[in-house]
Structure formats: structure tokens, C-alpha cells
Chain A
Amino acid sequence: DAMVIQNPRYQVTQFGKPVTLSCSQTLNHNVMYWYQQKSSQAPKLLFHYYDKDFNNEADTPDNFQSRRPNTSFCFLDIRSPGLGDAAMYLCATSRDNPSWGALQETQYFGPGTRLLVL
């Protein structure tokens, strides 16, 4: 089945030790997103890719970086994780169809990676 896959599902890292989270999709969607969700809070958009065009949210810390080597894969790199970065990280994808004008299409989410920083 077409889907959005995230690996690993759980990641434990040490304070300051770089970590990479991965996301892959078989939906062939051209837009991919990374969200951070802390307990009892809304998912917060960190950045998105429109094809290879990277779009960073203004309030996303420099500590967070992303790579999209091809349509199917997208990575979230946290260069120096702090205790405050412990959260669920959600990857999502959507299509863009110019004929829809400004309307956005549904986002399909992966199961998330739960990050714990010790």
C-alpha cells in the first residue's frame, strides 16, 4: 500500500549528539513536510519541500536542518539536540496541483518518530 514511512519509530539520543530522522513515501507527492509535536500541543511546522525547493519557517531553530535527496526521501537532522527538542517528529506529504489555485490538498502523515534526549 502507498504510504508514508518514518524510521526509526523511537530514537534515544544524548544531549548534543547529532541525530537524523528519516521519512520515505510511496505516494509520489511533490510536497513533504516536517512537524514537531510536543505533548498536548499542536503539530508545529518546521519546514517543507516543494520538490527540491526548501522552505524554512521563520521560527525554526538553526539546529534543525533537512535534506531531500529525491522525491521519495526526506531527512530531518538535529545537529545538537537539547532537552527541549524531545518531541514527536511527524513527516507528511501532499500533492500540489496548480489547477487548484491556492487551495491546499490533504496531508498524509507518517506514524512519527518519538525522540528522547538524555
Chain B
Amino acid sequence: RKEVEQDPGPFNVPEGATVAFNCTYSNSASQSFFWYRQDCRKEPKLLMSVYSSGNEDGRFTAQLNRASQYISLLIRDSKLSDSATYLCVVGYTGGFKTIFGAGTRLFVKA
């Protein structure tokens, strides 16, 4: 079993749709959680850090469920520019070990 697993993609949605991604992690020692966005052939860029209380940034909402060891990302009112790969990232206690999920590809269509 992979340490960080994400929904298999791709997700194909029309503009304006709401789409949700899930990510599960296996190590309960995980302390830090992030969503990164990666465009084709580009570097990952931080989308959101995920806090225990959940957090929202405009159209994006992230949730953390420690008991079930999963993280979610909700995108409302999808835009064409949201088309990208979304990477779930988990950081571990006591060091800088960082595990990336394989990513979920999102295609937003006009």
C-alpha cells in the first residue's frame, strides 16, 4: 500500500462544476498536509496548506480528517484554468520527510 494515495483520474468536468478530490495517508505520525498544483511539464506550486480545522481560500476548500486519515480538496465553480494535476502532500514529524501522492489530473471543459 502506498503511503499517500489519491483518487485515480482523470476528472473531466464542465466549467462551473464542483469537484472533490480525496487523499488518504497511512502513517498516523503525519503532521503537515498540503495540496499542490502542477501544470504540465512545470514545477509543483502550493495551492493550500491543510489545517486541522479545515480552511478555505476563495473557491477552494481543504479538509483534514485525522481519525480516518484523509484529506480532501473541494473546488467550486471550476474554471478552465483549474485544469492541472493536484498533488496531495504529507509531511512527517521530526524531520523533513515529505511524501507526494501520485496526483489527480483535472480537465475542465468549456
Which A residues are within 8 Å of any B CB, using their own CB? 31, 33, 35, 40-45, 48, 50, 55, 57, 88, 90, 94, 96, 102-104, 106-112
Contacts and interface: CB of A to CB of B under 8 A. Distances in A.
B43 A103 contact: no
Contacts of A109: 43-45
Contacts of A55: 95-96
Interface residues of B, number: 24
B46 A107 contact: yes
A50 B43 contact: no
B102 interface: yes
Contacts of A35: 100
Contact of B96 (A94, A110, A112): A94
23 contacts: A33-B98, A42-B4, A43-B44, A43-B87, A48-B96, A57-B97, A88-B41, A90-B43, A90-B44, A102-B31, A102-B93, A103-B91, A104-B32, A104-B98, A106-B34, A106-B46, A106-B49, A107-B46, A107-B98, A108-B46, A109-B43, A110-B43, A111-B43
